[in-house]
Chains A and B, each alone.
Chain A
Amino acid sequence: MRRPFSRLERFDFPALVVLSLLFFALVIAGVAREERSDWRPIQTRFRGVLEQNGQVGAARAFVPGVRQLWIPQLGRVDRCVTCHLGYEWSGTLPADLPAPLAPHPPLPYLGAHPFEEFGCTSCHAGQGFATATEAAHGHVEHWDEPLLDAALAGRYGLTAAELMQMRCNGCHRRDESTPGMETIDRGKVLFRKNKCLVCHMVEGRGGLKAPNLTYIGDKNPELFDFSHVTGPRTAFNWHVQHLTHADVVSPGTAMPDFDFEPEEARALALLLLSWRRESFPPRYLPGPPPPAGVAEARPVPAAAPPPQIVGAEAGREVFVTRGCTSCHGVGSGTVIGPDLKGVGARRDADWLRHWLADPAATLRAYPSLRSWPAEYGNIVMPNQNLSSDDIEALVQYLGKL
C-alpha cells in the first residue's frame, strides 16, 4: 500500500531518530541547568553543620529549597537566606563558620532591626531577587545596587561597615547622631560645621546658590563630568575628588576649597550618596532623640544610692524584685514559663541579653523558637523594660542556675 514518496524520504527516519535523541539530550540539559545551583551544595553543608552542633532536630526538619525574607512594606524580596542560612543562629552555631553559613554577628542594634522586618538588602544592598551567587551579590551587568562588601569598600579606602552606613542613613538621615554610624555622623558634623546650607538646599532648608542636595544620591552618574576625575568613574569617587579639589573637578565652580582630609571627604561623600528618594513606612523611621540630659539621668535612680551589689548576687536581686518567680521556677518544673534550671547551659549570654531586652523580638528573630508560644499557653514573656545593668546582672545570675 505504501507508495514511493520522494527521493529524500529515506532521510526522514534517520532525521526523526537524530531529532528525537537531540530532544532527549536537550531536555536533560534543561533539567540539569534547573537543578544545578549555587545554593544546593551550601544547604547540604548547612545541614551537616547543624548536626555537628547538636541541632539534630533542626537538621532533620530542614527542607531544602529557595528561602526568602519578604518585606512587602519595603518592597524587598531577599533570597540571600537561601545560602546565608546561619544568619539567625547566633549563639547556637559557632561565630567562625565559613562565609555563607556563619551566623550574623550579634550587633547591638540588631534587636531594633530584626531580620523579618528589614531583610538583608535594606542594609547590605545586593540583588535580593537572585538565587545565584554572582547575581545575588549584584556585581553583575544591569544591576545598580551591588553588595556593600569589603572589596567594594576597599576601592575607596573604607571598611564594609562604613560603606553600609549609607544604607543606615536612609532611615536615619534626620538623626543628629546615631550609634554605629560614626563615619556618616562625622560627615553630618562637617556638613553643619562648614555651613553647607548657606549655598545648598537640603529638604527645604538652605540656600539656592548651589545645587539642591536633597536627593543627590540618586543623581544619574552619567550627569557628572568625569573629565577632571582620576580613578574609578563612579559618583562616589566624583564626590570625594570634588570635595577635596572642587576647583579642579569643576573648573570655575563657586564652591570654595574646604581643605577636607581624604577621610573627611569620604565621610561627606557617604552622606551625600545616602540622600536618596526613598520612602519608608513611618514605623521604620527612628523615634525622636531623647532630650539632652534626660537620657543620662534615666537609668540610675538619683536618690538613696543602695549598697553596691554586683554580679550574680545583683542578678538574683533583680530576679526576685521584678517578680520573675511568679512565672519561672528553678528546678520545680514549668509554672507558666519554662523552668530555668540549667538555663545557662542551654543559652549563651548574648541570647539571654537579646531575650531579656526584648522577648518578642527574639522570638521573631529565631525561627527555632516559633513553637514556644504554643507550648506555653500562648503567653509570651512581657517586656520587663530592664535597664542594661539589670540585664547584665540577670545574665550572670541565670548563667549559674
Chain B
Amino acid sequence: MRGGGRLRALWRTSTWTWAPESEREAGEAIVRNLWLHWFPNKVTVRSASWGYSLWLGTAAASLFLILLVTGMLLMFFYVPSVEQAYWSMKDIRFAVSFGWLLRNQHRWAAHLMVGTTFLHMARVFVTGAYRGPRSLNWLVGIALLLLTLLLSFTGYLLPWDQLAYWAVTVGTNIAREAPVVGETLRFLLLGGSTIGQATLLRFYVLHVFVLPAAVLVLFAYHMWRVRKDGGLAAIEPLRRARAQAAGPPAPTKSYSLFGVTRGATIQTLVSTDLEEEDVAFSSPELVRRVVLVFLLVFNVTLLLSVLFNAPLEEAANPALTPNPAKAPWYFLWLQELVASTTVRIGGFSVSGGFVGGILVPGVLLLLAAAWPFLDQSPRGTEGVWLPRERRRQNLVFGLVALAMIALIIVSLYFRGPSWGFYWPWQPWPQEPTRL
C-alpha cells in the first residue's frame, strides 16, 4: 500500500487538521502544509483577536482572491477592442450564465478592496504598527495601496461605456498636471494623446497581468516581512511586559558557530520571550478565523451582487461628454479639490489641477511614506490602539481621512451638471433625448 501512503501524505499536505491532538500534530498542520506554511506555527492570542487588527488585511487579501477568480472567468468573455468591449459587457450581463454575478461581484469586490486596503492602512497607523523594523513593510503597504488604486482605475475603463471613458478622461487629465513628467506620463499611459484602442489595450494588459502580478509579488513580500518582523505589532506590549518580568533577556535557542547567541535568531529579527499562555496554535485558531473572514467577505460581495447591478451606461462616445463627468469615487476627493481650487477672475482662470491633482496627494503620499522616520513618539506605544502619547498625530490622520471622505461624499452625491451643487433630492435638469 505504498501508493496509498503517498496519496495520504499528499492529502495531508493540502488539507489541515482542525483538531490536532498533540503539539506536534498542530505544528505539522501548519508547517508541512502547502497552503498554510507561510503562517507561524503559533500565534499570540492578541494578534489573532478580532479586536486588535479587525482583520482588515485578511479581508483585503480575500477580496483580491475573489477578484482574481471572477476576473479570470470574465476574461473568457471580455474582448478588449473598442468595437466589441461594450457589447461583450452586454453579453456578460444578458447572455452569459451567471455573467451578471461575475461582473457584479468583480465590481463590488474591487470597490470594497480599495476601501478595505485604506482602512487597513488606517488601522496600522492608529496602532503605531509601522515603527522600527516594520517601517519597511509600511512602505510595501503603501505600494500595495497604490497598486490597488491603479488596478481599480485600469479596470474602470474596460467596460468602454460613457462612465468608463469619461472617468478615465478626468483621471488622466489630473495626471497631466504633474510638473515636467505629467504630459509624458499621460501619453505613455494612454498610448497616445486621447483615449482609444491603444489605451484600452494598455489598461487591459496592466489590469489583467502586470498589476495583479505586482500585487501578488508584493503581497508575498508583505506577508514574509510580517513574519520576519516578528509578527503583528500587537505582540510588542506583551513582549515588553514579559521582558520586564523576566529581567535581562535570556539567550534564545539559536546556535552560532561558537555556541548560544543572544538576541535575534536567524528566523526572525526579533527575539520572543513569550509564555505558553500568550500563544495559541495556528491550527485551528488562526486558520479558522481566516476562513471566517473570507466567508464574511465573500457573503458581503455576494449580497451586494444579488441586490445591485454594476453600472453600464451608453457605449463610449468621445464626441459626447456627459455632464457631469465624474472620476471613480476614490479619486473624487481629488476632482473636488481640483474643481474648488480653480480660481476664475473675470476671463482669467487658474487651473486647480496642480493643487488638487498633484500638490495635495503628492504631499500626503510623501508624508505617509516618511512618517515612520519622522514619528518621535515613544516606542512603548507600538501595537496599542489610540495611545495618549500619539493623540495628536492620530487626530491629524483622522482629520485628513475625514476631509477626504467628506470631499468624496460631496462630489459623489451633491454635484450635478457643470459641477453645480445639488441636494440629493433635487432633480437635475433633464437631458434631452433623440426620441
Contacts and interface: CB of A to CB of B under 8 A. Distances in A.
Interface residues of B, number: 52
A52 interface: no
Contacts of B319: 220
A36 to B, nearest CB: 11
A236 B435 CA distance: 6
B91 interface: yes
A1 B302 contact: no
Interface in B352-382: none
Interface stretch (B15-23, B125-133, B192-200): B15-23
A234 B430 CA distance: 11
A131 B99 CA distance: 13
Size band of the interface chain A makes with B: 35 or more
Interface stretch (A141-149, A170-178, A301-309): A141-149
A222 B292 contact: no
**In the complex, the 7 A-B pairs of residues with the closest C-beta atoms, listed nearest first:** A129-B90, A221-B432, A233-B432, A26-B302, A19-B295, A142-B313, A131-B94
Given A20-B295, A220-B319, A235 B433 contact: yes
Contacts of A129: 87, 90-91, 93-95
A12 interface: yes
B299 interface: yes
Contacts of A130: 90, 94
A34 B101 CA distance: 9
Interface stretch (B47-55, B183-191, B218-226): B47-55
A142 B312 contact: yes
Contacts of A20: 295
19 contacts: A1-B21, A1-B22, A5-B48, A9-B285, A16-B288, A19-B295, A26-B303, A34-B98, A132-B94, A143-B314, A217-B434, A222-B323, A233-B430, A233-B431, A234-B432, A234-B434, A236-B435, A238-B432, A273-B435
A296 B75 CA distance: 59
Given A23-B302, A77-B87, A143-B314, A8 B432 contact: no
A148 to B, nearest CB: 8
Interface in B82-138: 87, 90-91, 93-95, 97-98, 100-101
A3 interface: yes
Given A5-B285, A22-B299, A226 B91 contact: no
Interface string A253-297: 000000000000000000001000000000000000000000000
A340 interface: no
A144 B299 contact: no
Nearest to A128: B90
Given A1-B20, A222-B431, A233-B430, A16 B292 contact: yes
Given A5-B285, A235-B434, A19 B299 contact: yes
Contact of B434 (A5, A75, A273): A273
A144 B306 contact: no
Given A26-B303, A131-B94, 5 more contacts: A3-B276, A6-B49, A29-B306, A220-B320, A233-B433
Interface of B: 19-23, 26, 45, 48-51, 87, 90-91, 93-95, 97-98, 100-101, 161-162, 276-277, 280-281, 285, 288-289, 291-292, 295-296, 298-299, 302-303, 305-306, 312-314, 319-320, 323, 430-435
Contacts of B19: 2
Interface string A66-96: 1010000001010100000000000000000
Given A8-B50, A12-B288, A235-B435, A142 B314 contact: yes
Contacts of A27: 302
Contacts of B320: 220, 222
Contacts of B276: 3
B299 A221 contact: no
A177 B434 CA distance: 25
Contacts of A132: 94
A20 to B, nearest CB: 7
Contacts of A160: none
B246 to A, nearest CB: 21
Nearest to B321: A222
